[in-house]
Amino acid sequence: MDHLTSRVADVSGLRVVLAEDAVLLREGLAGLLRRFGHEVVASVGDADALLAAFEEHEPDIVVADVRMPPGFTDEGLRAALTLRAARPGLAVLVLSQYVEQTYAAELLDTGGGIGIGYLLKERIGDVKDFVDALERVAAGGTVVDPEVVRQLLSRRRDPLTRLTPREHEVLGLIAEGRSNAAIARRLVVTEAAVSKHMAAILAKLDLPPAQDDHRRVLAVLAYLRA
Amino acid sequence: MFTRTALEAVTRPPAAFLRSSWPWRSLAYLLSSVPLAALASGVVYAAVEFGVAIACAAAVLAVVVLGPVLAWFERVRLRLVDLAPVRVDRTRSAGPRAGLTARRARQASLPGTRVRQAAHPGTRARQAARSRARVAARLAACLRDQATWRAYGFVTLALGVMWVVDLGMVSLATWIPLVLLSGPLQPDIDLATGLALAAAGIVLLPLSAYLMTAWAGARAMITRAVLAPADAEVVRSRARLVDAFESERRRIERDLHDGAQQRLVALSMKLGLAKLDLPPGSPAAAQLDEAHEEAKKALAELRELIRGVHPQVLTDRGLPAAVLDVAGRSPVPADVDLVLPVRPPVPVEVTAYYVVCEALANVAKHSGATRCSVRGRLVGGTLVLEVGDDGIGGADPEAGSGLAGLADRVAVADGVMTLSSPPGGPTSLRVELPCPAPAPAETPRPAPSPAATPCPVLPPVENTWTTSPRA
């Protein structure tokens, strides 16, 4: 049984604190999460309110926009980093209208990269995928936006050129934080085939073999960011 | 044609020139050197009467005390032979940042923002101390200002040499024709010879006009170059324009981010939710799918557009992060080695950022390279950036590759751009931007990266094409 899918079973009914300054989006997001059976215990519009709401509600996961009042720069991200520093295991999903490697790196460097997500805000549109990502993060998974992964993969690193195109594709999906089962579904192959690709990739990149999906994601991300 | 300077006047058709006021203006201009002559003669007289030491002291004193007055006098009389406006604005000559400061001061006095007033009445001593401090600060600014020293240099030259040439030209140009003209009146010359001499004098008069006007024009040109350099003002006004454009771009970015982008995300989410409610395979579901895809494409396009308008990460995290980000999106794999111990001032950061963007775009479009590199260090007070690739070389700044625009942008920041791109490659673009110590941060800035190390000096690249603001 897949590690992540086993955890997904107990991530229904999450208690969520939502921080997003655009009212339209905040309400929409809250409605969406409720529809999937999660409870939005607080939805706030700025970083200070987020910290206060966290203290009050002790949620399972925090969903925060990067850019929030009063400075409209990266207050949400900083608040997320503060929360992660105080509570390393806290699941945090950071949303942004643009993605930056730098921000991804800052988030992954907290709490050992466990239970962290960083996604483009527009991924909300793919409702099911989005909720799935949220649940994976709540379960201690790591979710990195494909856009960031694409940037990381495009950086020149000699061993990467030894990968076949298919392996490249699989590597990208791993880095996004997807499980073997999810990758198999995406590429319309069997899980066994994915496992084979995976072994080949790990060998080519001199990464230690890992059965655990999550450890594998972190190893791959650490490799790509190095 | 409208003539603005004496030198332009000289190039006009002779009839037009001689009928114009320019010869007379030039004469007046040169004759206005008489006060300088008087002053210099005074010094010479002092040398004869009281000894060389006292005369030297008097000369130095005269230059120091009268320097600013004489410089003002030179600018005023410049108007006789140069109709272009002369602007000497000391608050502006402190460099491009001065404009910014002035703008901030204006913003601070907008209604709605509170301006702090002198709080305690009757504290005259404190006010006096403050005004003394203000005077001292202005004096210090004056002494730091290049223009002050240029003015002193020019005044010394004018007092020492120029008045001799000025008055010498006037006497040369007027004396000989006048002597010749007086031929018929001379008692010991017969009338025929006298008339012939007078005719020669009449012929010489226009030549004198040319002689005087030409020297007056040349002198005016020197005066303008030293005392009222126009190009520096142009560079500064360009810098202000770039600043204005940049803040406008930020505003547009904010508007798009808070408006269209949020709405599109909300729309995309609603479409996504609607899809859940429709039975798969129904005609409406297919339509909805298409609509959803379109919305996502629009979002992606808008995201790229916004990034192009103003890179938020540059504001939030500084140049290295922004460059890393650009390099990450570069189709040609790029190695980044950019270490800055402090954040440069915002205009320098923005210029450097656009330099890297444009350079990487050029690498992708024209170079045929398989890899490239971006290196940057702060060396002394200069930000040195190098973008190199292993492509085919032969980059031509004249061929509309965006390099010319880049050079302009660098020139506005008072920087220097050097391109080395021999046919066959490799290409290396080096940009040096003056980088004064950052102003006290107006927004909270993150601490410098722990990786910050003292910067090794980059070796200069072979110089095949250089632009500089003065080139």
Distance from CA of B451 to the nearest CA of A (A): 14
Chain A positions with Cβ closer than 8 Å to B: 22, 24-25, 28-29, 31-32, 35, 67, 71-74, 97-98, 100-103, 120-122, 124-128, 130, 151-152, 154-156
**Which pLDDT belongs to residue A63?**
95
| Calpha distance B8→B11 (Å, rounded) | 5
Cβ neighbours of B300 in A, within 8 Å: 122
Q: What is the CATH number of the domain that holds B377?
A: 3.30.565.10
Structure tokens that stand for B283 in this block: 């005609």
Interface with chain B: mutation pick from A78, A97, A118, highest number of B CBs within 10 Å: A97
Give the global pTM: 0.60
Cβ neighbours of B313 in A, within 8 Å: 98, 100, 102-103
CB contact under 8 A, B265 and A121: yes
A113-128 residues labelled b (16+ CB within 10 A) or e (exposed) = bbbbbbbbbbbbbbbe
Residue B365 inside a domain? The answer is yes
Query: Are B358 and B432 in a shared domain?
Result: yes
Domain endpoint, select from A144, A163, A196: A144
Which residue type occupies B410? V
Query: Are A103 and A12 in a shared domain?
Result: yes
- The backbone torsions φ and ψ at residue A164, rounded to the nearest 5 degrees and listed phi first, read -75, 160
Query: Are A108 and A155 in a shared domain?
Result: no
Query: Are A102 and A167 in a shared domain?
Result: no
CB contact under 8 A, A100 and B262: no
Query: Are B295 and B317 in a shared domain?
Result: no
Query: Are B80 and B154 in a shared domain?
Result: yes
Residue B337 inside a domain? The answer is yes
Domain endpoint, select from B276, B309, B342: B309
CB contact under 8 A, B269 and A125: yes
Share of chain A above pLDDT 70, in %: 93
Provide the Cα torsion B465, B412, B304, B418; round to 10°: 20
Strands A61-65 and A91-96: parallel
Query: Are B377 and B454 in a shared domain?
Result: yes
Query: Are B251 and B336 in a shared domain?
Result: no
Query: Are A130 and A22 in a shared domain?
Result: yes
**A23 is in which domain, residue-wise?**
3-144
Distance from CA of A154 to the nearest CA of B (A): 6
Query: Are B366 and B282 in a shared domain?
Result: no
Cβ neighbours of A121 in B, within 8 Å: 265
| Calpha distance B170→B160 (Å, rounded) | 17
How many domains would you assign to chain B?
Answer: 3
Cβ neighbours of A127 in B, within 8 Å: 269, 272-273, 275-276
Residue B142 inside a domain? The answer is no
| Calpha distance B74→B71 (Å, rounded) | 5
Query: Are A139 and A162 in a shared domain?
Result: no
**Which pLDDT belongs to residue B111?**
39
| Calpha distance B66→B59 (Å, rounded) | 10
Cβ neighbours of B266 in A, within 8 Å: 22, 24-25, 28
Query: Are B299 and B381 in a shared domain?
Result: no
Q: What is the CATH number of the domain that holds A118?
A: 3.40.50.2300
Structure tokens that stand for B416 in this block: 């220097």
Cβ neighbours of B273 in A, within 8 Å: 31-32, 35, 127
**Which pLDDT belongs to residue B2?**
63
Residues in chain B: 471
Tens of pLDDT, residues A86-138: 988 899 999 998 888 888 888 988 888 889 999 999 999 999 999 999 999 99
The radius of gyration computed from the CA coordinates of chain B, to the nearest angstrom, equals 33
**B351 is in which domain, residue-wise?**
313-438+449-467
CB nearest to A100's CB, from B300, B321, B333: B321
| Calpha distance A38→A131 (Å, rounded) | 10
CB contact under 8 A, B265 and A122: yes
Query: Are B78 and B163 in a shared domain?
Result: yes
CB nearest to A122's CB, from B299, B324, B327: B299
CB contact under 8 A, B273 and A35: yes
Query: Are B277 and B322 in a shared domain?
Result: no
CB nearest to A154's CB, from B276, B315, B328: B328
Q: Which residue of A has its CA nearest to B321?
A: A102
Structure tokens that stand for A67 in this block: 């850019």
Residue B429 inside a domain? The answer is yes
Share of chain A above pLDDT 90, in %: 46
Q: What is the CATH number of the domain that holds A155?
A: 1.10.10.10
Query: Are A121 and A38 in a shared domain?
Result: yes
Domain endpoint, select from B274, B309, B344: B309
Distance from CA of A69 to the nearest CA of B (A): 12
| Calpha distance A200→A216 (Å, rounded) | 13
**Which residues touch B141 (CB under 8 Å, ≥6 apart)?**
B90, B94
Domain endpoint, select from B228, B253, B283: B228
CB contact under 8 A, A73 and B330: no
Token pair 């080139």 in the structure block, residue: B471
- Mean pLDDT within A195-200: 89
| Calpha distance B328→B201 (Å, rounded) | 80
Alpha carbon distances (Å) from B341 to B316, B375, B423: 16, 14, 36
Query: Are B247 and B165 in a shared domain?
Result: no
**Which pLDDT belongs to residue B447?**
40
Tens of pLDDT, residues B194-238: 888 888 888 888 888 888 898 888 888 888 888 776 555 566 677
Query: Are A54 and A129 in a shared domain?
Result: yes
Tens of pLDDT, residues A153-191: 876 667 787 888 898 889 889 888 888 888 999 899 999
Q: Which residue of A has its CA nearest to B307?
A: A98
How many domains would you assign to chain A?
Answer: 2
Query: Are A116 and A183 in a shared domain?
Result: no
Cβ neighbours of A97 in B, within 8 Å: 257, 261, 265, 303, 306
C-beta neighbour count of B84 within 10 angstroms: 13
Q: Which residue of A has its CA nearest to B332?
A: A154
Residue B161 inside a domain? The answer is yes
Interface with chain B: mutation pick from A100, A109, A151, A161, highest number of B CBs within 10 Å: A100
Domain endpoint, select from A126, A144, A162: A144
Residue B1 inside a domain? The answer is no
CB nearest to A102's CB, from B271, B276, B325: B325
Residue B106 inside a domain? The answer is no
Would you give per-residue pLDDT tens digits along chain B (471 residues)?
A: 467 788 888 888 888 888 888 888 889 998 888 888 888 888 888 888 888 888 888 888 888 888 888 888 888 888 888 877 665 444 333 333 333 333 333 333 333 333 333 444 456 777 777 788 888 887 787 777 777 888 888 888 888 888 888 889 888 888 888 888 887 787 787 878 888 888 888 888 888 888 889 888 888 888 888 877 655 556 667 777 778 888 888 889 888 888 889 999 999 999 999 998 888 888 888 899 999 999 999 999 999 888 888 888 888 889 998 998 888 888 888 889 999 988 998 889 999 999 999 899 888 888 888 889 999 999 888 999 999 998 888 877 777 667 778 888 888 888 888 888 888 878 889 999 988 765 444 444 444 343 333 333 344 443 334 444 433
CB contact under 8 A, A32 and B329: no
Residue B38 inside a domain? The answer is yes
Query: Are A177 and A206 in a shared domain?
Result: yes
Cβ neighbours of B271 in A, within 8 Å: 125
Query: Are A213 and A137 in a shared domain?
Result: no
Query: Are A110 and A161 in a shared domain?
Result: no
Query: Are B304 and B319 in a shared domain?
Result: no
Query: Are B72 and B216 in a shared domain?
Result: yes
Question: Distance from first CA to last CA of chain A, Å, rounded?
Answer: 31
Interface with chain B: mutation pick from A77, A127, A161, highest number of B CBs within 10 Å: A127
**Contact (CB, 8 A) for B339 and B320:** yes
Residue B70's SS3 state is helix
Query: Are A93 and A200 in a shared domain?
Result: no
Residues in chain A: 226
Domain endpoint, select from A101, A119, A144: A144
